[in-house]
A = this chain, B = another copy of it.
Amino acid sequence: MTAKSDLEIARAADCRPIAEIAAKLDIPFENLVPFGHDKAKVSLDYAASLKDRPDGKLVLVTAINPTPAGEGKTTTTVGLGDALNRIGKRTTICLREPSLGPCFGMKGGAAGGGYAQVVPMEDINLHFTGDFHAITTAHNLLAAMVDNHLHWGNALGIDPRRIVWRRVMDMNDRALRDIAIGLGGTANGVVRESGFDITVASEIMAIFCLAEDLADLERRLGEIVVAYRTDDTPVTARDLKADGAMAVLLRQALAPNLVQTLENNPALVHGGPFANIAHGCNSMVATKTALKLADYVVTEAGFGADLGAEKFFDIKCRKGGLKPDAAVVVATIRALKMHGGVGREALGQEDAEAVSRGCANLARHVENVKKGFGVPVVVAVNRFSADTQAEFEAVKTACATMEVEAVLCEHWAKGSAGTEALAHAVVGLVEAGTADFQPIYPDAMPLLDKIRAVAQKVYRADDVVADKRVRDQLAAFEAAGYGDLPVCMAKTQYSFSTDPAARGAPTGFRIPVREVRLSAGAGFVVALTGEIMTMPGLPSHPAAEKIGISREGWIDGLF
């Protein structure tokens, strides 16, 4: 174990000029749009020019249900990518861009950790290449055009009480969750209630991450439903003639961002939708570009496999025609102990039995990915210093029962040297060619049945519960031609059930569907199973209070 902090390691990184990183993928410099000397966008024209090349192998990194003990999905993705490069496979990783707002709240930055990081981490966590700003602007332009339309006579007949398009800001700002706008007299428009979400919750973020190219992006932007009339018919962004201007605002952003790992391997970091009300994966453009450029592409999905992997498979892979070749399910001994009933305070004590019990959570995810989706699995145990051999043996024993390999990973402390075994295991799985991916439900199934399929086959719930209002709404979506869309489940990330405290592998529960929402541009129907916070707040002492520029010109306090 190293004594250096993530920040010290990142600052000591030997960052290579981005043209050198691009050269590893044979991308000519003129096809890069540089942002400084260590970041670049890969031009969309160049990405499009690759379309006849064969695809590389696609590997998903997912995880058990998160606990306060931590899992390390991003570090494992970085470590696996570096290790695949180390053993001679031309590999690119694909990650989500972090949101700026939360950096100033509780959590600080997010770009891996230890010796498994992407750099420049400070830039990636701040403005990066401006993608989120572009999404924020496009979103708010549409909002301004909705209110402007009301102000100038409402020719489209929008019901001002049924405007579903809010505004966004990449900031944790609870005071903007619920607001009244248009106050102060007739010159200021029509008074109504509205609010702000954080930018990652914007439907435009989801659209951005599912669009195949600029034309598809513009088409999807036009499909966005912003409001309803009193006769229940939808009003779209296209009706407001906002789609073209939004596409113009997003044109540059849609090109994927190339950065590097600490080991100077290529990383595409692009897009970052929520993993609850959206699908939680990096952009389709980045993943597809990476598949054309590399032999192996390692990507991650948000939260645990019940949410992240399920959406990666049922939404992103289905829509994009992607065929994943293997999956890595990440666990930590500490987190398995928590799933086995140990409290946070006792995580430091050896408890192989609790680990064995906690493997019930791991086993369910593994089975879902392997059997439910047909994607072969290897389990990565992300090592912490206090883990014991007996505890790891407990995981190995459990994995043997699941007929998957468990590999100890030390990328945090050792970089790719600590993930070489995982890389070999992944290559073995991929080369065995056993993957036979299929989504968990077909396009043609009624929407409520799709929700039920996920609940029963993935979560192992007894059933779903939906009152008449929800069923009527789903029927209305189907009547309006949206019945073929996949569903996007908004559920707590902490449990298979909707009870965040139910760790392990709970049974005997039902999934209540409280509300359903149409994301017509993104192309899915969101099923909300609990309160989902789409605008976080700041803590009593936000991280921002300690962030500043040091005398040496470094950024202090961000990590």
Contact = CB atoms under 8 A, between A and B. Distances in A.
28 contacts: A33-B36, A45-B553, A127-B137, A137-B171, A140-B171, A141-B544, A145-B538, A148-B173, A148-B175, A148-B537, A151-B174, A151-B175, A151-B537, A174-B182, A174-B188, A175-B181, A177-B183, A177-B184, A178-B188, A179-B181, A183-B193, A218-B549, A240-B545, A241-B544, A242-B544, A244-B548, A245-B545, A247-B548
Nearest to A130: B130
Contacts of A148: 173-175, 537-538, 540, 542
Interface of A: 30, 33-37, 45, 100, 104, 123, 126-127, 130, 133-134, 136-137, 140-141, 143-145, 147-148, 151-153, 167, 169-185, 187-190, 193, 195, 214, 218, 240-245, 247-249, 251-252, 537-538, 540, 542, 544-549, 553, 555-558
A147 B175 contact: yes
B144 A538 contact: yes
Given A34-B34, A244-B546, A244-B547, 18 more contacts: A34-B35, A100-B137, A104-B245, A126-B252, A130-B133, A137-B171, A144-B538, A145-B538, A148-B540, A152-B540, A167-B176, A174-B189, A175-B189, A241-B544, A241-B546, A244-B545, A245-B557, A251-B555
A384 to B, nearest CB: 31
A177 B123 CA distance: 32
A196 to B, nearest CB: 9
A188 to B, nearest CB: 5
Contacts of A195: 184
B549 A248 contact: yes
A202 B282 CA distance: 33
A133 B141 CA distance: 14
Contacts of A190: 175
A144 B175 CA distance: 8
A215 to B, nearest CB: 8
Contacts of A178: 182-185, 188
A214 B549 contact: yes
A545 B241 contact: yes
